[in-house]
Structures are given as C-alpha cells and as structure tokens.
C-alpha cells in the first residue's frame, strides 16, 4: 500500500454527512500534503469534528470520496470492504478530546499493546513505547495507571499511543478542550515538537495562537462548509470573509 | 468459639422474637386461649365466636379444594356442622403441614383438623387431643405393572413420602430398618408431587395413607395399592394445651351429630373412608 | 436426636447445597453473558425475544421455574420425571440466575463510554479484541458488587430445591424439625447459610480487591 508518491497523504472530495436529515457536512473537499500541519477552526457545531470522524471512519459519510495516498477508502459514498478499511486504519492515528485511554491498562500497556496486536514483538513494542514516553516527557510513568495522571499527562500518553502505530498522519480532535487551562501548554508543546519533525497532522482546535503559529494552513469552517482557508497569517490577520472576521473577533478579547 | 456461640444465641433470639411477633399479630382476632368457648355455647347474647380450623388443603378426601375453589372434604364438612351446632363462625386456615403445630401455637388457627395422625410426641408436648375418629394404615401405591407385591420388594427402590406425614414418621422410626433398604427415599412437600414422581417413573412406590391412596386410584388409572398394612394409626383433632374447654365443646357437638345422624349423612358422601370412621363403627 | 447428630445429618445435605451453588454459578455466569449479548443485539427480533425471555425469568418465582423444569416435560409430553433431581434443579437455577446476570452484564457494558470502543477501533482492535481486552475487564470491575449480591442470594435460594424434593441441607433440616418437633434445625440451617455467605463475602472481597488495581 504505497500509493501514489505525489498524491496527498489524506484527501476528501465533496464529502457529505447528515444527522437525521440535518446536513452537518456539505460538499467538503480538503487535502493534506506530506509534512503539513492543517488546523481546522470554527464555532462549535460547524462540522469540524464530524469531518475528522468521517475521515477516520468513526462516522459513516453519506457521499463523496476519502483517499489516503491517492487510494480510495470511499468512492462516491461507497466504502471499500471491511478488511481493506482495517488496513487504512493503520495509516492514521487519532487523538481524542477525552483521551480515551484504557483505564485498566498501565501507561506502558496502553501504548505497547496496539502494535503488539498487529504483530510487533513485545520487546520492540515496549522499546518503542519507552522511547515515546521519553519524548513526551513522561519518563518513569510507564507503570502508572491513567487515573494517576493529570489530564495533560494523559493526553500526552494518548499521543504516544497514536504514534506507536507509526501513522503517516495524525488527527487531533480538540486535544486541549478537556484540559484545565494551565495544562494545555504541555500538550501544545508536544504537538509543536511533532510539527517541527514534519509529522503530517490535522488539528481541530480552539487554540488560535497555536493554530496561527504551528499550521501551514488554516481552514475556517462554519455551518458545515469551508468558509475560508489559506495561509495562517492571511486567515488570521486579513480574513476575506465576514463570518471569519466575526468568529475571530471573539478570540481577540 | 465464644464469638460463634454468642452469634448462635443472637440468631436464636431473633428467631424466637420473630415467632412471637407472628403470634401476637396473627392472633389479634383469635385469642390464644378460647376462654369464651363455653360462654358462647350457652349464651347467645355473646358475640359470635370465630373458630379457625387449620387444614392441609391438599389432603383429599379429608380436606381439599373442590372444583369451584372452595375448601371442602369430610373434616371440613364435619367442622362446619359442629360450628353450626355451636353457633360459631367457622374460618379456614391452611397450614404448612410440617409447621402445623407451630402455627397452632402461634394462634393462626384454633385447631389442626385435617386427617391428622395422633402422635405420641404431640401428647408429650402437651397438646389437647380429641378422641380418635378415624383408623388408618399406611399403604404402598405403585403402578399397575409394577413388580412390587410387598414391602420386601422395595430393596434398592426409590420410595416417595410426603414431608410431615405419618408415613414419613413411620419410616424414620418404626420402619427405619425397612427405609434403610430403599435405594432412595424422596420426601415431597405435597401428595401431588409424590404421585407425579410415581407417574413420571422417578420413584417406584409412594408410602401414603390408605384413604388418600383409595381416593387417588378412584380418579386415576394405572395404579394399584399393595396389599399390606404398614403401621396403624388414628386420626384426631389437636388443640393448644390451654384449650381443653374448646376441645370438650367440639367433642360434645360431635357426639350430638353422631346421635342425630348428621355425622353419618356427611360420611355417606365419602365412601372411600366410611369403613374406617370410628364413631360409626363403635 | 443429639445436637451433634442433627448437625451431622444436615451436613450430609450441605454437599448437595454446594453442588447446586457451584454448578449454578459455573453455568449461569457465562450463559448470562450470552443472553446479555443477545439482548443487546442490533437485530430487533432477537433483542425483543431475549428481552421477553428475561422478563419472564425475572418476573416469575424461581420456585415455579423449578417445578416447570422438573415436572413440565412430564405434564406436557409424558416424559419421565428425572430421578436425579440435581439436573433439573441446576438447569432451573442456571437459567434463572443467567437472566439476572445478563441484566447486570448489560448494565455494565452499557456504562462503558463510547470513546473506549472508538479508541480501540482506531487502534486496530477487532470487535472481539475490543470486547475481550478493553470492555470486559472494565465491566467485570464495575459489576462486581452486583454480582456479589446475586451470589449471596443464590446461597440462600438453594433451599428452594426442596420444592422438587431434592435432599439438600434445608430439606433435611425441615425433615428433622418435623420429626423432632423442634426449631433447632432451622437455627442450624441459619448458621450454615450465614457461615457459607461469610465465606462467599470473603472470596468475593478478594476478587474485588484483585480488580482494584486501577480507579
């Protein structure tokens, strides 16, 4: 599954999704190139989380295409079969707003078990996990259980867990929204570090300064459509659309 | 060990307390001692006395539920006649047969009158017992095609008996040696279950009172009674130890009923037992 | 009959009481899981039928179910009544308790957040792996107190086997009480049940402690 070398790592074309006849995503198209960081901002209910969940197959889109490396996971609203979909899952990682760590597993097992189930040896999986924990600044916490960690630490474990699968792209669904303000910094710092290492990422976020500083591209969504997108400096400092200006004004205060 | 002992004591205390509680609430309308019995009998100015008859509702033909759901049977009809004669109001209380004496003591009923075998232990415990009115034996009920022809054939077989009946008692005491030859002794909590076990081939014989067996084969085909009497016994009525007066009143009324023929009239309705009624054969 | 003889005689029935207890747990704990999964089936017909069966099993007395299992085949089809009453007794108990366990399991499974399933799915866990590794261990811990409750009730419910003349400890106690016109066998039975349940409490406490490695 090497795909097309020149194709974007992740792309959606004209994706649609309704919940009980209420459209949440209307013809959204988007592509993410290798090494890029794309931030998706917008008011709640704008469809940005739904977009991420459709891209990661947690929600079933009603129509459109989903591609990884130019390969169709969904074409014209039709998904590939389950086995093929499973292979697509190994290409991305997802970090949830509520961490969703497994509370009955130690930190180490949270990170090491998923690769082991894919055939990675215990030794290698645990080595990888220890390395990631070091990188996340959580050295020595591998025996702890999630409930013994702060929210910020838990989210960093969740990021390590996603990275342990060696994904080609990492999705973040509001990774700091469930955290106390003083804990958001440590998580954002880790994401920033990943960006510097050219990890391909899509981040749904409300942290405007972060989005502005880290992203290669910013997408502003509202009412299920992409209202405006482009270079972060342009979107934040010189928005073209009135709705973008309205939205950003709230954050300036 | 001390702890365990005190625990036992607490438990026993709780049990006895709950038993007392039951008796005081159960007997609010039926005083434990029927002091008014004589008064009610002689003076009709007194409030009508209520006499609560304790029966096993699954013991035909002495006491059972008829097709309309009313309690009837030889004992029930005789008791009704006694109450009518004495001007008492009769009520029926269905006892849990293996707890009948406890329930009597608790005042839930004023007598146990339901084809009840008079046991030595009842006399020893001080219960007031009426004169016996029925002579009974235990018999074996088997399937028609059974190879059992006497109690000697029961070796290694399964035998059912109802819990709390004289049959069960017999097997524990006088016929213990016989019971020890059984393959299994199955104790059921009703005769219906004993017979179901027999019909369903789970047991090979049922040890049961003669009249019950006679009444059963009259209604059901495919069974026979083994021609052997196992343990003779007599039926009577049990009252609380303080109720000698009550017993006397009932016995007096019974004598009147025998004298005026009412007793024989009732007995005629129960041909299965009429031969063994002692008052009619004196 | 001496007190010692009474206790000895009743102890004979204790083995049968234990047989009902352990065999019922052995069959009802897994069967309850099967029923719970059928009850949560996406197929509405299966879920509906299972729901109905559960409501019948929970809505009718165990005593009635014991009678139905033991004598039902005889009355309906003329089958022989089983000689060894342990079989119908365990069948009736296992089915009845499975219905209760099923509802406990269902409550436990439904209390696990959707996020746990989603995280497992994204991390490549199969449905079976998700259930066995992620969901079930968490469910076990959450339902332990309710399961302990049922197990304690089961100890006492074994006495109901007397309705089908199974000679367990309480049935023997009743027989002795009757022949000796004494309440003592009931006191002995009460102590037996109490000690049995004290052991059950102790063991369940150990299990709960073992599951208590995380919050």
Give the number of beta-carbon pairs within 8 Å between A and C.
Answer: 55
Question: Which helix (H) or strand (E) is C161 found in, with range?
Answer: none
Q: How far apart are CA B189 and CA A208, in angstroms?
A: 79
Q: What is the pLDDT of residues B177-191, one digit of tens each?
A: 899 999 998 988 888
- pLDDT exceeds 90 at position B97: no
Instruction: Tell whether C129 lies on the interface with A, counting CB pairs under 8 A.
Output: yes
Q: How far apart are CA A218 and CA C146, in angstroms?
A: 51
- A226 and A38 Cβ atoms separated by less than 8 Å: no
Burial of B117 (0-12, 13-18, 19+ CB in 10 A): buried
Instruction: Tell whether C117 lies on the interface with A, counting CB pairs under 8 A.
Output: no
Radius of gyration of chain C (CA): 20
How confident is the model at residue A5, as a pLDDT? Answer: 64
Q: How far apart are CA A91 and CA A32, in angstroms?
A: 14
Put the strands of the sheet holding B71-72 in their side by side order. Answer: B58-59, B63-65, B71-72
Give the residue extent of every domain in chain B.
2-134+235-280, 136-233
How confident is the model at residue B7, as a pLDDT? Answer: 44
Q: How far apart are CA B207 and CA C213, in angstroms?
A: 60
Residue-averaged pLDDT of chain B? 83
How confident is the model at residue B68, as a pLDDT? Answer: 85
Burial of A60 (0-12, 13-18, 19+ CB in 10 A): exposed
Q: How far apart are CA A195 and CA A192, in angstroms?
A: 5
ipTM for the whole predicted complex goes beyond 0.90: yes
Q: How far apart are CA A193 and CA A183, in angstroms?
A: 16
How confident is the model at residue B18, as a pLDDT? Answer: 41
**B43-47 long-range contacts, Cβ below 8 Å, gap at least 24?**
B44/B87
The set of residues, in sequence order, having a beta carbon less than 8 Å from that of C113 and lying 6+ positions away, is A98, A100
- pLDDT exceeds 80 at position A171: yes
CA distance C178 to chain B (A): 6
How confident is the model at residue B8, as a pLDDT? Answer: 44
Beta-strand pair A10-19/A92-95: unpaired
The set of residues, in sequence order, having a beta carbon less than 8 Å from that of C103 and lying 6+ positions away, is C36, C54, C58
Q: Scanning every residue of chain B, which has its alpha carbon at the shortest distance from the alpha carbon of C174?
A: B98
Please report residues of C whose CB lies closer than 8 A to that of B102.
183
CB atoms within 10 A of CB C206: 10
Instruction: Tell whether C137 lies on the interface with A, counting CB pairs under 8 A.
Output: yes
Please report residues of C whose CB lies closer than 8 A to that of B122.
181
Distances (CA, A) of C47 to B129, C44, C51, C53, C56: 61, 5, 6, 10, 14
CA distance C153 to chain A (A): 29
How confident is the model at residue B276, as a pLDDT? Answer: 87
What sections of A26-180 are H helices per DSSP? Answer: 48-55, 82-89, 107-117, 122-135, 151-163
Q: How far apart are CA B237 and CA B128, in angstroms?
A: 8
How confident is the model at residue B16, as a pLDDT? Answer: 43
Residue A114 CA neighbour count, 13 Å, CB half: 26
Please report residues of C whose CB lies closer than 8 A to that of B201.
80-81
**Number of compact structural domains in chain C:** 1
Structure tokens given for B116: 């009840």
Q: How far apart are CA B166 and CA B97, in angstroms?
A: 11
How confident is the model at residue B23, as a pLDDT? Answer: 37
* B2-134+235-280 and B136-233 in the same fold: yes
DSSP B248: H
Where does chain B show beta strands of DSSP type E?
Answer: 50-55, 58-59, 63-65, 71-72, 89-94, 111-112, 128-129, 134-143, 158-162, 184-188, 205-209, 223-235, 238-239
Residue entry with tokens 């261990």: C137
Q: Measured between CB atoms, which of C164, C165, C183 is closest to B15?
A: C183
Q: Measured between CB atoms, which of C115, C122, C133 is closest to A56?
A: C122
Structure tokens given for A231: 């270079």
Q: How far apart are CA B270 and CA B237, in angstroms?
A: 19
Q: What is the pLDDT of residues B221-276, one digit of tens each?
A: 999 999 888 888 899 999 999 999 999 999 999 999 999 999 999 999 998 888 88
A117·C125 Cβ contact <8 A: yes
DSSP conformation letters of C135-156:
IHHHHHHHHHHHHHHHHHHHHH
Which residue out of C165, C170, C180, C191 would a mutagenesis test of the B interface target, given it has the greatest number of B Cβ atoms within 10 Å?
C165
How confident is the model at residue B226, as a pLDDT? Answer: 92
- B85 and B78 Cβ atoms separated by less than 8 Å: no
Residues of B with CB under 8 A from a CB of C: 7-8, 11-12, 15-16, 19, 98, 101-102, 121-122, 125, 158, 160, 163-164, 168-169, 172-173, 184, 186-189, 193, 196-197, 199-203
CA distance C214 to chain B (A): 36
Please report residues of C whose CB lies closer than 8 A to that of B125.
181
Domain range spanning residue C63? 3-214
B160·C165 Cβ contact <8 A: yes
- pLDDT exceeds 80 at position B25: no
Residue-averaged pLDDT of chain A? 92
Determine whether domain B136-233 maps to CATH 3.40.50.720: no
Structure tokens given for A21: 């006849």
Q: Scanning every residue of chain B, which has its alpha carbon at the shortest distance from the alpha carbon of C81?
A: B200
C119·A96 Cβ contact <8 A: yes
As beta bridge partners, residue B205 has B159
Domain harbouring C129, CATH code: 1.10.3720.10
Q: How far apart are CA A38 and CA B152, in angstroms?
A: 96
- pLDDT exceeds 50 at position B42: no
Mean pLDDT of A87-103: 94
DSSP conformation letters of C88-140:
HHHHHHHHHHHHHHHHHHHHHHHTS-HHHHHHHHHTT--HHHIIIIIIHHHHH
The set of residues, in sequence order, having a beta carbon less than 8 Å from that of A47 and lying 6+ positions away, is A17, A24, A25, A28, A221, A223, A224, A225
Q: How far apart are CA C99 and CA C24, in angstroms?
A: 12
- pLDDT exceeds 50 at position B5: no
Please give the biggest Cα pair distance in chain A: 55
DSSP conformation letters of A93-133:
EEE-TT----TTS-HHHHHHHHHHHTT--HHHHHHHHHHHH
Q: How far apart are CA B61 and CA B48, in angstroms?
A: 29
Question: Which helix (H) or strand (E) is C188 found in, with range?
Answer: helix C184-210
How confident is the model at residue B46, as a pLDDT? Answer: 57
Q: What is the pLDDT of residues A139-152, one digit of tens each?
A: 999 999 999 999 99
The set of residues, in sequence order, having a beta carbon less than 8 Å from that of B76 and lying 6+ positions away, is B53, B55, B62, B63, B92
Architecture of domain B2-134+235-280: 3-Layer(aba) Sandwich (3.40)
- Which letter, b or e, does each residue of C44-61 get, where b requires 16 or more Cβ atoms within 10 Å of its Cβ? eeeeeebeebbeebeeee
**Nearest CA to B240 among B60, B102, B86?**
B102
- B280 and B261 Cβ atoms separated by less than 8 Å: no
How confident is the model at residue C66, as a pLDDT? Answer: 94
Burial of B39 (0-12, 13-18, 19+ CB in 10 A): middle
pTM over 0.80: no
Q: Phi and psi of B226, rounded to 5°?
A: -70, 130
How confident is the model at residue B3, as a pLDDT? Answer: 44
Reported as a pLDDT band with limits 50, 70 and 90, residue A58 is: very high
Q: What is the pLDDT of residues A100-141, one digit of tens each?
A: 999 999 999 999 999 999 999 999 999 999 999 999 999 999
- pLDDT exceeds 60 at position A245: yes
Q: Do chains B and A touch (3 or more CB pairs under 8 A)?
A: no
* Low-confidence residues of chain C: pLDDT under 70: 179, 181
User: What SS3 state is found at A19?
Assistant: strand
**Nearest CA to A62 among A31, A29, A23?**
A23
Cα of C64 vs its chain's centroid, Å? 16
Distances (CA, A) of A219 to A190, A227, A230, A239, C7: 22, 8, 7, 11, 81
B12·C187 Cβ contact <8 A: yes
Reported as a pLDDT band with limits 50, 70 and 90, residue A4 is: low
Touching C: which chains, 3+ CB pairs < 8 A?
A, B
- pLDDT exceeds 70 at position B282: no
DSSP B44: T
- Which letter, b or e, does each residue of A165-204 get, where b requires 16 or more Cβ atoms within 10 Å of its Cβ? bebbbbbbbbbbeebeeebbebbbebbeebbeeebbbbbb
Q: How far apart are CA A161 and CA A1, in angstroms?
A: 23
- pLDDT exceeds 60 at position B22: no
């Amino acid at each position: 599954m090497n795909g097309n070398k020149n194709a974007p790592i992740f792309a959606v074309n004209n994706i649609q999704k309704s919940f009980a006849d209420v459209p949440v995503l209307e013809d959204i198209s988007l592509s993410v190139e290798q090494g890029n960081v794309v931030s998706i901002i917008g008011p709640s209910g704008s469809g940005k989380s739904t977009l991420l969940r459709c891209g990661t197959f947690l929600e079933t889109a009603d129509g459109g295409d989903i591609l990884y490396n130019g390969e169709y996971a969904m074409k014209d609203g039709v998904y590939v079969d389950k086995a093929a979909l499973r292979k697509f899952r190994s290409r991305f990682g997802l970090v949830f707003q509520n961490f969703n760590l497994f509370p009955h597993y130690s930190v180490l097992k949270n990170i090491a078990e998923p690769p082991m189930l894919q055939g990675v040896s215990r030794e290698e999986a645990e080595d990888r996990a220890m390395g990631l924990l070091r990188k996340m600044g959580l050295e020595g916490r591998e025996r702890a259980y999630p409930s013994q960690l702060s929210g910020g630490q838990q989210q960093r474990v969740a990021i390590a867990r996603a990275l342990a699968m060696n994904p080609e792209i990492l999705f973040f669904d509001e990774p700091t929204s469930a955290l106390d303000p003083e804990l958001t910094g440590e998580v954002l710092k880790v994401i920033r570090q990943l960006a510097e290492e050219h990890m391909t990422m899509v981040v749904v976020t409300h942290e405007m300064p972060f989005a502005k500083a880290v992203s290669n591209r910013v997408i502003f969504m509202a009412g299920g459509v992409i209202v405006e997108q482009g270079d972060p400096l342009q979107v934040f400092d010189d928005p073209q659309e009135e709705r973008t200006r309205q939205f950003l004004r709230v954050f300036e205060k | 060990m001390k702890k365990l002992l005190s625990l036992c004591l607490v438990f026993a205390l709780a049990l006895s307390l709950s038993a007392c509680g039951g008796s005081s609430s159960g007997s609010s309308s039926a005083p434990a001692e029927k002091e008014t019995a004589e008064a009610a009998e002689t003076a009709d100015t007194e409030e009508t006395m209520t006499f609560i008859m304790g029966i096993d509702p699954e013991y035909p033909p002495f006491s059972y539920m008829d097709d309309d759901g009313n309690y009837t049977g030889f004992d029930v009809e005789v008791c009704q006649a006694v109450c009518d004669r004495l001007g008492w109001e009769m009520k029926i209380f269905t006892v849990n047969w293996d707890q009948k004496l406890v329930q009597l003591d608790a005042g839930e009923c004023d007598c146990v009158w339901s084809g009840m075998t008079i046991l030595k232990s009842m006399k020893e415990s001080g219960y007031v017992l009426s004169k016996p009115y029925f002579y009974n034996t235990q018999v074996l009920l088997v399937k028609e095609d059974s190879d059992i022809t006497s109690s000697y054939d029961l070796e290694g077989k399964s035998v059912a008996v109802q819990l709390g009946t004289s049959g069960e008692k017999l097997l524990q005491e006088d016929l213990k040696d016989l019971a020890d030859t059984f393959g299994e002794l199955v104790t059921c909590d009703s005769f219906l279950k004993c017979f179901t076990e027999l019909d369903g081939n789970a047991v090979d014989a049922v040890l049961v009172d003669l009249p019950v067996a006679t009444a059963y084969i009259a209604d059901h085909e495919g069974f026979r009674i083994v021609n052997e009497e196992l343990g003779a016994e007599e039926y009577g009525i049990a009252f609380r130890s303080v109720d000698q007066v009550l017993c006397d009143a009932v016995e007096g009324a019974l004598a009147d009923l025998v004298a005026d023929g009412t007793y024989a009239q009732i007995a005629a309705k129960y041909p299965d037992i009429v031969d063994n009624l002692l008052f009619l054969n004196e | 009959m001496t007190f010692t003889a009474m206790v000895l005689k009743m102890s004979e029935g204790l083995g049968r009481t234990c047989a009902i207890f352990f065999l019922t747990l052995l069959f009802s704990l897994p069967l309850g899981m099967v029923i719970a999964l059928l009850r949560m089936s996406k197929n509405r017909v299966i879920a509906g039928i299972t729901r109905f069966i559960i409501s019948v099993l929970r809505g009718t007395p165990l005593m009635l179910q014991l009678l139905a299992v033991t004598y039902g085949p005889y009355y309906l089809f003329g089958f022989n009544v089983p000689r060894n009453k342990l079989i119908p007794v365990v069948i009736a108990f296992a089915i009845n308790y499975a219905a209760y366990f099923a509802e406990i399991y269902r409550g436990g499974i439904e209390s696990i957040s959707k996020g746990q399933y989603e995280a497992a799915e994204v991390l490549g866990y199969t449905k079976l792996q998700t259930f066995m590794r992620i969901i079930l261990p968490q469910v076990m811990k959450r339902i332990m107190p309710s399961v302990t409750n049922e197990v304690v009730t089961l100890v006492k419910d074994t006495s109901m086997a007397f309705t089908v003349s199974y000679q367990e400890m309480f049935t023997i106690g009743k027989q002795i009480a009757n022949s000796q016109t004494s309440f003592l066998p009931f006191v002995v039975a009460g102590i037996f049940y109490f000690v049995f349940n004290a052991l059950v409490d102790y063991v369940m406490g150990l299990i709960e402690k073992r599951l208590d490695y995380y919050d």
